Amino acid sequence: MTLRLKILRNGTAPGTKSDCEISGSNCPRIRRKILRTVGGDRFDERYITYGNMGRNGEWFWFSSEWKWTGDDLTNVAGQLFILDKFPLDAKVLLDHFVFELPSNKSYAPKSEACAELAVNGKAEDNDGGGYSHYPFLYDRDFNPLVYEEIVSGIVNRFYRIRARGSWNKVLR
């Protein structure tokens, strides 16, 4: 799943850091609920970590990987994906959403598996409309991998590790 979001908070200047970006607390999440007729509902969640979080009024990309077990696909009445845990006074805009299986370009060719340090490391032609990190989603609180794009005559897409900190989340 790949999506593009913008969060606007009333009374907060554009470009202001959120609690999520500053301290890693109060980060929004995507929650999946599998509604089952037998055996109880199933839940899973992915948090938007502080390295992925955009500042107030800025668009940002978020990619996540979802897996289902055979049990998750039995007696299913429906499934929900819910964006939540935003500040109460926030307006959330979503302008791009892709939900897809990874294509062949997400994997190294078997004949050249060691050709690149990271398959498609230049991020020029990814899944998710060009923005998915899969299968290189490295979305840990202490060292998140984010997609970046710079346009200056030509488009340069790449990955960057932002908001580096120590294991105890001391940010510089």
pLDDT at 43 over 90: yes
HSE-up of 117 (CA within 13 Å, CB side)? 4
Task: Give the residue, 42 or 128, on which the prediction is more confident.
Answer: 42
List, for residues 73-124, the tens digit of each pLDDT value: 999 999 999 999 988 889 999 988 888 887 877 766 677 666 666 666 666 6
Output the average pLDDT for the chain: 79
Give residue 134's pLDDT band: very low, low, confident or very high (50, 70, 90).
low
Residue 36's pLDDT band (boundaries 50, 70, 90)? very high
Query: Taking the alpha carbons of 68, 72, 77, 78 in that order, is the dihedral positive or negative?
Result: negative
Domain ranges of the chain: 2-161
146 versus 168: which is more confidently predicted?
Answer: 146
E strands, the chain, are 2-9, 29-36, 42-47, 60-63, 76-84, 90-98, 145-152, 154-161
Q: What is the pLDDT of residue 164?
A: 58
Q: Residue 170 has what pLDDT?
A: 40
Residue 92: what pLDDT? 93
- Identify any residues that bridge with 9 across adjacent strands, giving them in sequence order: 90
